[in-house]
Amino acid sequence: MLLLLSIVAVLAAPLIVDLYTPADYPRAEFELAVAFARLCLPQILFYGIYTMLSQVLNARGQFGAPMFAPIANNVVAIATFLLFISVAGTSAAADGVLTSSQVLILGIGTTLGVVVQALILIPLLVRSGHVWRLRFDWRDAGLGRAGVLAFWTIALVLVNQATYVVVARLATQANVDATVAGVTAAGLTTYQKAHLVFMLPHSVITVSIVTAMLPALSRIAHSGDLPRVGREIGSTMRLAASFIVPIAAILLVTGSGIAVLLFGYGAAIPAQAAIMGQIVSVFMLSLLPFTLFYVLLRGFYALEDTRTPFFITVVFSLIWLALAVPLFRLVGSGGPQVASLAFSYGISYWVGMAIAWFMLARRVGGLDSARTIGAVARMLGAGAFALLCMLGVRALLLTYVTGPATADKWAVLATVASVAVTGSVAYFVAAWILRISEVSAMMEVVKRKVFKR
């Protein structure tokens, strides 16, 4: 099925690109996007293989391999980019024009990374004791129930993709508007890179916590002990929030510096990196509700309910678009337009998280909500204190040490590191004063990982 879908997607690449771009998008850039789409869309098949093999390994209690397989992808990607730089230089894409060989290097290399990420799990799955064999005794295998669950899951994905099409078109239009207005370019790439930074703490921390929790949660749900399901969800939300709140506060303040360090190279100019940093900071306002929403949906999935998450996602998407479209038209061209998309995203997740919380709590008889809300509120208080401390230190450094517009990467790195250390210390001091037990549990988790023998 995925093979067929991948083939159709490659053949329909021009239609897919047209779906994501506005009518006045430059023709040369459209053709370049189609070329990359044809090379990258086969990744659909291999991401599907990776997901399937990962779930089999998780079901067997093997959580490490699926988490580390993307590292192989990153190694291939880094090798691809180094090859590209050696062939084309660091400023090859400055004018938006690439040769056929340069496109092939980037497109094939990127797809090859996903292929490696998927196939590297096969020997690990064999080593885990999994036995491969064809099965045709499908009767009473639970496929009917699985089909119903899959239907609502696919519908949810389609809603997300339809929403993203609108957002992508708006972000692309922002770049066109910036060019017409003569301001610094900011568009879909700006949005995607900022969102990538936003997703990093979630992917490393929340996904790891939930992946380890989900098999046990599913067994508890299968046993019918719904109150315990609620307690487990509440505990998971508190643990995830204890990591996410300080990280969100740190990235909120250091977003501009981090963007300069990560993206202020090659064809990117400092002004573009600065805009990316501002978008990163806006995205941080939604990191906590995004995390809690993710945990809550896993509660529904443990109950084998994919229908409710679908309708919650529909509401979330409608709110996002209802906010994003008018805000996009009201603000200035370029960066402010992209920021409006990120801001609308955050507001929508706060509302979606509240709806999911209410519905899951009603379903399982409570999520230990009083304790969870109290703990998260204290974490936010500690985060606010850390935020004020970081703003103070950052202002002092920019005023008396580095200057507000330094292009020195080492000075930016020193500022980011100093602010991050200040924020971490301030958060943990405030958490100790406020007696946030989940932060102590978080520190125990970190200590076990760091000092494990």
pLDDT at 142: 53
In angstroms, the Cα distances linking 49 to 2, 4, 10, 52, 54 are: 9, 14, 18, 5, 8
pLDDT at 215: 81
Q: Is the pLDDT of residue 251 over 70?
A: yes
**In angstroms, rounded to a whole number, what is the distance separating the alpha carbons of residues 190 and 184?**
11
pLDDT at 274: 83
Q: Which of 98, 129, 160 is the last residue of a domain?
A: 129
Residue 380 lies in a domain: yes
Three-state DSSP string of 383-435? HHHHHHHHHHHHHHHHHHCCCCCCCCHHHHHHHHHHHHHHHHHHHHHHHHHCC
Give me the domain span that covers residue 412.
147-446
Total number of domains in the chain = 2
In angstroms, the Cα distances linking 25 to 20, 29, 164, 171, 174 are: 10, 7, 18, 12, 11
pTM for the full model?
0.82
Mean pLDDT, the chain, integer: 87
pLDDT at 447: 64
Q: Which two tokens stand for residue 127?
A: 């080593």
Regarding whether 240 and 118 lie in a shared domain, the answer is: no
Q: Is the pLDDT of residue 449 over 70?
A: no
Place of tokens 């805009």: 275
Regarding whether 49 and 151 lie in a shared domain, the answer is: no
Regarding whether 165 and 103 lie in a shared domain, the answer is: no
Residue 142 lies in a domain: no
Regarding whether 287 and 213 lie in a shared domain, the answer is: yes
pLDDT at 218: 85
Contacts of residue 169, Cβ cutoff 8 Å, sequence gap at least 6: 20, 21, 22
pLDDT at 26: 82
Q: Which of 129, 156, 174 is the last residue of a domain?
A: 129
Regarding whether 119 and 160 lie in a shared domain, the answer is: no
Regarding whether 256 and 199 lie in a shared domain, the answer is: yes
pLDDT at 138: 59
Q: Is the pLDDT of residue 451 over 70?
A: no
Counting Cα atoms < 13 Å in the Cβ hemisphere of 369 gives 13
How large is the average pLDDT for residues 336-340? 93
Residue 15 lies in a domain: yes
Residue 135 lies in a domain: no
- Percent of the chain, pLDDT > 70? 89
pLDDT tens digit sequence for 35-77:
999 999 999 999 999 988 888 887 777 777 787 888 899 999 9
pLDDT at 280: 93
Q: Is the pLDDT of residue 372 over 80?
A: yes
pLDDT at 23: 79
pLDDT at 400: 75
pLDDT at 132: 67
Confidence of residue 404 (pLDDT cuts 50, 70, 90): low
pLDDT tens digit sequence for 99-147:
888 899 999 999 999 999 999 988 888 877 766 666 666 565 555 666 7
Regarding whether 157 and 8 lie in a shared domain, the answer is: no
How large is the average pLDDT for residues 14-38? 88
How many angstroms separate the first and last alpha carbons of the chain?
45
How large is the average pLDDT for residues 377-395? 94
pLDDT at 411: 84
pLDDT tens digit sequence for 140-187:
555 566 677 788 889 999 999 999 999 999 999 998 888 888 888 888
pLDDT at 171: 92
pLDDT at 139: 62
pLDDT at 137: 63
Residue 50 lies in a domain: yes
Q: Is the pLDDT of residue 453 over 70?
A: no
Regarding whether 164 and 33 lie in a shared domain, the answer is: no
Residue 138 lies in a domain: no
Q: Is the pLDDT of residue 307 over 80?
A: yes
Q: Which of 129, 158, 173 is the last residue of a domain?
A: 129
- Residue 184 sits at φ, ψ, to 5 deg, of -60, 130
Of 347, 360, 280, 276, nearest in space to 312 by CA: 360
pLDDT tens digit sequence for 259-286:
888 887 665 667 788 888 899 999 999 9
How large is the average pLDDT for residues 299-323? 94
Residue 134 lies in a domain: no
Regarding whether 352 and 252 lie in a shared domain, the answer is: yes
Regarding whether 406 and 374 lie in a shared domain, the answer is: yes
Residue 246 lies in a domain: yes
Regarding whether 66 and 159 lie in a shared domain, the answer is: no
Q: Which two tokens stand for residue 231?
A: 């307690």
Regarding whether 258 and 368 lie in a shared domain, the answer is: yes
DSSP 60: T
